[in-house]
Structure 1
Amino acid sequence: MNKLRQLIQIFAGPVKHLIGTDHLGNKYYYVPRQKSWTGQTIRERRIVEAANHLEEYEYEAGKIPSEWDAWIRGRREDPPALEELLRNEQYRNEIKIRAKQAEEKDSAIQTREYEEGLVAKPVKTHIKGHASAAYYGKEEITEEPSSAAEGFQPGSWIPPNGSTQKR
């Protein structure tokens, strides 16, 4: 039987067992520790097969549920159960609803405080560039170049006495 399995592995690749799927359609496999046809030991692995056939480097955060991600990375021994996935998804939705309610409540309190004069409204400023920019403080930006090129003379600037220049 062991020889038959080795022959199958030579032609079909390593034996992998389907552990489960998630709501996105990703399939999760477990490849047990086994010996190759050359006698080398192949360590156990956990693999995800993407539903949309993305490569490993094309994955982004959130493409794999956190419970399955923990199983793939070996941070948990057993794969997540369907009940656990549903319970955690429901909990995440409740947190989103509570966060939205808290934001609306905070916005209402802030609006009331502005109306009653308890808190000063934030000042809206419009900054027209950085102080080092040629157009800082000017109302309009013009096409005319602004530089000191006309009055520039090489060697006219002398550093202060306390400079760190080597002599």
Structure 2
Amino acid sequence: MDKLRALLQRTVRQYMGADQFGNKYYYVPEQKTWTGQKTRAKRIIESVNKKEFEYELGHIPTEWEAWIRGKRKDPPTIEEILRNEKLREDVKTKANEVAEKEQMQQSQENKDGDLIPPQKTQIKGHASASLFGRQKPSEEPASTGNTFQPGSWSPTQKK
């Protein structure tokens, strides 16, 4: 049945390349089917692992995944993939070196006793608060809660 469908649809796939894992990538251009319907262009991967549950993150190189999703126009070359893979490995090794260096510095500071314990921050208040910048609040109450009468307030006139 699949062979019959393939004959009727006459899909023309263009081989675009393969990656280091053995996955093959194809481009199917926009075309008309035998019924007159237009099919849009597709980018297809023929995976080494035919079963979806065997797929794991990293089985498709990032560059090919970007091409499949239409994020890049041209398919990547093997040289580009290998160069980017080497760059990623360099970044990983440099990150590990920096992490080890920081860990060594922290352990050295702990041994020397020169480590300054973290201090608590003082909450001074917000700049729009009436007490901002003052050392202590005034002794006079700012509220008129005990003497307030409804309707007794009137706004002061601007000068």
What interval of TM-score do these two structures reach, taking the shorter chain for normalisation?
A: 0.5 to 0.7
Whole-angstrom CA distance in 1 between matches of 2:18 and 2:46: 9
Equivalence for 1:65: 61
Equivalence for 1:16: 13
| Cα 1:63/1:88, change in 2 over 3 Å | same
SS in 2 for 1:29: strand
Residue 99 (structure 2) pairs with residue 103 (structure 1): yes
| Cα 1:8/1:50, change in 2 over 3 Å | closer
Q: Which amino acid aligns with 1:78?
A: D
Residue from 52, 57, 71 that aligns with 1:75: 71
Q: Which structure 1 residue ranges, 5 or more long, are not aligned?
A: 1-6, 122-167
Paired residue total: 114
Whole-angstrom CA distance in 2 between matches of 1:52 and 1:13: 26
Q: Which structure 2 residue ranges, 5 or more long, are not aligned?
A: 118-159
Residue from 29, 32, 37 that aligns with 2:29: 32
| Cα 1:12/1:41, change in 2 over 3 Å | closer
SS in 2 for 1:75: coil
Residue 108 (structure 2) pairs with residue 112 (structure 1): yes
Q: TM-score, normalised by structure 1?
A: 0.61
Q: Which has the larger radius of gyration?
A: 2
Q: How big is the shift at 1:60?
A: 4.2
| Cα 1:120/1:53, change in 2 over 3 Å | farther
Question: Percent sequence identity over matched residues?
Answer: 48
- Say what the alpha-carbon RMSD is for the aligned residues: 2.4
Equivalence for 2:80: 84
Whole-angstrom CA distance in 2 between matches of 1:35 and 1:85: 34
Q: Deviations over 1:86-136 (max 9, x none)?
A: 110110010011011111101110110010112379xxxxxxxxxxxxxxx
Higher RCO (CA < 8 A, seq sep 6+): 2
Q: TM-score, normalised by structure 2?
A: 0.64
SS in 2 for 1:30: strand
